[in-house]
Every structure is written in C-alpha cells, then in structure tokens.
Amino acid sequence: IQMTQSPSSLSASVGDRVTITCRASQSINNYLNWYQQKPGRAPKLLISGASSLQTGVPSRFSGSGSGTDFTLTISSLQPEDFATYYCQQSFTTLMYTFGQGTRLEI
Amino acid sequence: EVQLLESGGGLEQPGGSLRLSCAASGLIFSSYAMSWVRQAPGKGLEWVSGISGDGDNTYYADSVKGRFSISRDNFRNTVYLQMNRLTAEDSAVYYCARESGYRFDHWGQGTPVSVSS
C-alpha cells in the first residue's frame, strides 16, 4: 500500500491553522497513524486509528478521515510544532508503510 | 517505563554484514510485535521489517527481502536485524519500534549504519 502526503513542505506562522493530507493507494479503513519527528530525534506517535489523540498530545492536533483520504490538522501552530510529520498505514499486518513526510517550517 | 536501546550500527563495506540489536525493558516483551524502521540521511521513514511477539511470523520490505533477517530472543528481551549484502542504499539510522494496537507507540533512539568503501 502506497501512502502519499501533501504537501511535501509547508511554511506557516505561529497561530496558523494547518492541514496535512495523506492518501492511501487502497482503502485502509481507519488504520492510519500520524507521527511527529524533530531533527535528530525518534518519531513520536501523535494520532492512531485516524483520529485518536495519544495521551499527552495537545488538543490542537486532530486527525480525520477513513478509507483512502486522511487529514492531520493543527488548529493553532505553536513554536514547538515545527517538525516533519508522517502518516503511516497499519492495515497490512506488521508491514506498516509511511508517507514521504511533510516538513512544516516557519 | 518502556525503553528500547539499539546497538550494533557502524561503518561497513559494501557487500558486508552487520547485526543490529534492540534491547527492550519495562514491558512484557513477548506480548509485543517489534519492527525496524530506517531513515536515510535527509530522507523519510522507511519500514524495514517486523516480527510477531512469538517470533513465528516475519515481514520484510521489498528493498531488503532476501538480504535482511529479523529475529528475537524473548528470554533476552532483544530483537535483532541481521543485514547481509549491504549496499550504500542501506546507509541510514535504524530504529526499533514496539507495535501495539496497530501503531508504533515506543521507539528507540536509533543506531546509525554507514555503508561505504
């Protein structure tokens, strides 16, 4: 299953509302996760099951979608949100492929 | 607290082999599938290989199938990635990750692999 994110990069300002899109090459129901990665660090799980926010993740992050089309929304960007975001499908047993990433820049 | 600690990375020549290890603590290790994910310099995340909790089922990305082998020792709480016939395209930071509920909820800090003559 191929995962395609858009855009590949995005410039935004503190306080902006930002949406990142992820499309699967076939239906994955809601088996879609979002990760945040900062330079030199391991990825951090933000959202699983397309819309379930992980414990400790700020509520300005939200996810939606099902089937093939998904979105990650950050309602009001904070300085610490500037990072790279990846979607991941978990529909195929233990072969959890990633999108190519979206770099969010100031 | 769940901790994953990778080791075994380093510099290897093309055609050579390396074995990565990921030591886990703070969890009932055999209850969880584990995966390896890599990230080439300046590139995105690439899922490489996964193994079920009992070790009976293994999965590989096409890019490494036939060259890499994943295994685990549930007594030592460790998962391994044996990498053979290495090429420059295998140069990356390799992360191990715990799979729980169809997501990777814990990650190690990564171990770098560089393949160069």
For residues A82 and A104, what is the distance between their CA atoms, to the nearest angstrom? 5
Tens digit of each residue's pLDDT (9 = 90 or more) over A25-64: 999 999 999 999 999 999 999 999 999 999 999 999 999 9
- The tokens describing B67, both together, are 């060259």
Q: Is A88 on the interface with B (CB under 8 A)?
A: yes
With the CA atoms of A35, A36, A41 and A43 taken in that order, what torsion angle do they form, in degrees rounded to the nearest 10? 0
Going by pLDDT thresholds of 50, 70 and 90, the confidence category of residue A94 is confident
Give chain A positions within 8 Å (CB) of B42: none
Give chain A positions within 8 Å (CB) of B33: 94
A75, A28 Cβ separation under 8 angstroms: no
Contact B47 A95 (CB under 8 A): yes
Neighbours of A47 (CB within 10 A): 23
B33, A93 Cβ separation under 8 angstroms: no
pLDDT at A95: 87
Considering CB atoms only, which of A42, A93, A96 is closest to B47?
A: A96
pLDDT at A83: 96
